[in-house]
Structure 1
Amino acid sequence: MISLLPSSGIKNIARMAVLAAGFCFTMAAEAAAPLKIGYSDWPGWVAWQVAIEKGWFKEAGVDVKFDWFDYSASMNAFSAGKIDAVTVTNGDALVTAAGGAKNVMIIVTDYSNGNDMIVGKPGIKSLKDLKGKKIGLELGLVEHLLLLNGLQKAGLKESDVTLVNTPTNETPQALASGDLAAIGAWQPNSGEAMKRVPGAKPIYTSADEPGLIYDVLTVSPASLSSRRADWEKVVKVWAKVVDYINDPKTQPDAVKIMAARVGIKPEAYLPLLKGTRLLTLDEGKAIMVKADGFKSLYGSSKIVDDFNVKNAIYKKPQDLNKAIDPTLVSK
C-alpha cells in the first residue's frame, strides 16, 4: 500500500502514538500503585491498624500502604509528596496547606476528649491559679489554642501568663524542673508529666471543649481527583474500624492490636483510647456540615485558622471550602 501522507506527517502520527501509549502506561501505573497514607501515635490514627491487620482494605478492593512516622515527620513526608494522605489535626492540615502542600480533609476520625491537657504542678488547682505564672507548651500548636480558650473561660488573657516555648516531648522534664507552674501536652506526654511530678494534675483538657481539636484524614487534591473511587473505599473501611473498636465483644482484640503498634500493654492503652472520641461515618457526616462553633469541622477550622493568622503561623486565611470535602462520607 502506498502512503498518501508526507514522511513528516507519518513521523508526527508515530510520535503522538508513542506519547499516548506513554500517557496510558503512566495512568495505569498510578492506578495500580497503592495509596500511601502516613499515620502516627494517636489513638484515632492507630485505630487504622485494626483494618491493616484484619485485611479489610483488601476485602474492600483497594490497595493501601500505611507508613508509620513521628507526627511532625508525617507532615514533612506529605509536604514532600512522598505519601498521598496523612493523619493530622484539622489545624495542622491548614498549616500544611499554607506551607504549599494543599490537602483536602475527607474524614473526621475523632476528636480529642481529654487526651490534650493543661497539667498544673502541685498546688495549682485551676486555670485562675496560673495568673502571673509560667506555662510551658509548644507555641502555635493545639495546646496553645486549648490554653487560650480555657483562659478566656476563666476570665484571663494570654498577657496574664508567661508562655515558655517548649517542645511537646520535652514538657514532662520541663514540669519536673520546677521552673513552670504548668505545661500543655497531649498523651502520652501529659501522662508522663504527671508521673514525674507526683501531685500534678490536669486543670483543663480537651474534654472541656469538644470539637476544639478534630483529627482527620487529609488527602492531596491530585490523589483525590485521580483515585476518588479508591478513597471512597477507604472511607467505608473506617466505618468497620469504629464498629469493631466500640463493640464490647471485639474491643479487647482491637485494643490489643493498637497497643502492640505503639509498644505498650493493652491495659495501659485503654485509658488513652477513652480520651479519644472515635466518630462513626454518620457522626462525621453531621460534623462536616457548615456551621459556626466547635460542633462543626468548618466552624472549628475557622477558629483555628483565625488563631493561626493572629499568631503569624501563616499570613493569609485558608479557603475552608477547598480544605474540606464532606461528600465522601455521604456515599
Structure 2
Amino acid sequence: MPRKSIRHAVTALPLAFLLSLSLSACSGSASEDDSTVRFGYIGDYNGAGLLAIADKQGLWKKAGLTAQVKAFNNGPVQVQALSAGDLDYGYIGPGAMWLPASGKAKIIAIDTLTYADRVIGRPGMTSMKDLKGKRVGVPEGTSGDMVLNIALEKAGMTVNDIDKVNMDPSTIVSAFSSGKIDGAGFFYPAIDTIKKKVPGLEEIASTKDTGDAFPTAFVAGNKVPGAKNSKVIKVLQQANDWRKQHPEETIALTARMLQVTEAQAKADASHVETLSTADLAAKTKGGEVNEWLKKLGEFFVRNKQLDHNPDPSDYYDGDLYGQAYGK
C-alpha cells in the first residue's frame, strides 16, 4: 500500500483485523440496541489509539458493548454524521470544538493535548507576510483552519490577505507537493508525507508556539442516552490509562490498526501530550478543562464560527466523566 497520510491509511486494513474491530459501513438507521456503539474516528494516533486498545484489551466486551468503528477524514464530517444519526460517537481535534460549542454534539471525554498543527509554506517562506496574496489550502473547520487563523491574527493579517482555498487533506498533500498551492494550514502526520516530496518546506507557524492548550476530544450525538455515554466513557478511561502506562505498546497497536510502520505512528505520537484519567478528572473538576474550552471558544467567536462563547459545561459533560471515573 502506498504510504499515504496516517489519516487515510485505514481504507486498506487487512480483512481479519477489520473483522476483529467490527468495522461497519454505518448506515443511517439507529443502533440496533443499547449495546451497539457506532464510533467514528480520524486515522491517526489521537483518533485511533484508544479504539485499538479497547479492542485488544476486550474493554468493549467487558462493558457489555459491541463497537462498530469507521474512519473519517476530519471531525466536522463526523459531527455531521452524528447529527444525521449515522454515528453515536466520534473524535474531533481542537479546530472542530466550535461544533459541540454550537450545540451540534456533546463532548464526553477529553483525549489528549495536541500540538500537531502548522502553517507550512514553500521553501524560502519564513513568515506569514510571505503568504500574502498566495494560494493557501486548508480543510475548513478543522485544526488546520484554526492554526491558519491564529497565525494570521498574530501577524496582523486576515483571510482577505491570502487566497484561501478549501481542500480536503489528501488534496492538500497532492496540491502542495505539485506546487499548485503555496501554503497550507495543515497537520502532522500528513505534513511528513509532504516533506518527502518537498524536503525544504517551511513551518511558518505552529500551535506549539502559542503556549495554549489544544485538547482533542470524543463526542456523542445529542440523542445518545446518558447511560450509554457512561459506559463508553468508562471504556475510554480504561483505554486511556492503559495507553499512559504502555506508550510503546500503544504505538504498536495503533500502527497495526492503521497499517503504517511503528516509526510513522511514533512520529505522530511525538506531537501529542497524554494525560492520565485521574489527571483529566481532576482538571475537569477543578475547571481547567473548561478554561481550555473557553479560550478556544473566544477564538471561535473572533473567527465568526460562533456567535457567542457558551459555558463549556453546556457542551462538555464533565460531571458524567467524573462519575464514570469514580465507579
TM-score clears 0.5: yes
Partner of 1:4: none
TM-score normalised by length of structure 1 = 0.75
Which runs of structure 2 are paired with 1:121-132 in the superposition (5 Å)?
Answer: 121-132=122-133
Distance 2:202 2:67 in 1: 39
Partner of 1:252: 248
Aligned Cα root-mean-square deviation (Å)? 3.1
Does the C-alpha gap of structure 1 residues 173 and 301 become closer, same or farther in structure 2, counting only changes over 3 Å?
same
TM-score normalised by length of structure 2 = 0.75
Is this contact kept in 2: 1:293–1:299, CA < 8 A?
no
Is this contact kept in 2: 1:309–1:316, CA < 8 A?
no
Q: 1:325 aligns with which of 293, 302, 317?
A: 317
Aligned residues: percent identity? Answer: 20
What residue ranges of structure 1 are gaps of 5+ in the alignment?
Answer: 1-28
Q: Name the aligned partner's letter for residue 214 of structure 1.
A: P
Is this contact kept in 2: 1:122–1:201, CA < 8 A?
yes
Distance 1:169 1:213 in 2: 23
Q: 1:105 aligns with which of 98, 104, 107?
A: 107
Does the C-alpha gap of structure 1 residues 286 and 138 become closer, same or farther in structure 2, counting only changes over 3 Å?
same
Partner of 1:38: 40
Partner of 2:27: none
Partner of 2:58: 55
Does the C-alpha gap of structure 1 residues 260 and 308 become closer, same or farther in structure 2, counting only changes over 3 Å?
farther
**Segment drifting more, 196-205 vs 72-81:** 72-81
Cα distance, 1:295 vs structure 2: 4.9
Q: Name the aligned partner's letter for residue 271 of structure 1.
A: A
Task: Classify the secondary structure of the residue corresponding to 1:110.
Answer: strand
Cα distance, 1:46 vs structure 2: 0.8
Partner of 2:261: 265
Cα distance, 1:275 vs structure 2: 1.0
Q: Name the aligned partner's letter for residue 53 of structure 2.
A: V
Does the C-alpha gap of structure 1 residues 224 and 173 become closer, same or farther in structure 2, counting only changes over 3 Å?
same
Task: Classify the secondary structure of the residue corresponding to 1:199.
Answer: coil
Partner of 2:12: none
Distance 2:295 2:168 in 1: 28
Is this contact kept in 2: 1:142–1:213, CA < 8 A?
no
Does the C-alpha gap of structure 1 residues 80 and 124 become closer, same or farther in structure 2, counting only changes over 3 Å?
same
**Cα shift readout 1:279-304 (whole Å, capped 9, x = no counterpart):** 33344345547979995223323432
Query: Is 1:242 matched up with 2:245?
Result: no
Does the C-alpha gap of structure 1 residues 141 and 56 become closer, same or farther in structure 2, counting only changes over 3 Å?
closer
Task: Classify the secondary structure of the residue corresponding to 2:318.
Answer: coil
Q: 1:231 aligns with which of 207, 229, 250?
A: 229
Aligned residues: 289
Distance 2:101 2:68 in 1: 21
Cα distance, 1:316 vs structure 2: 7.7
Distance 1:323 1:306 in 2: 19
Is this contact kept in 2: 1:140–1:308, CA < 8 A?
no
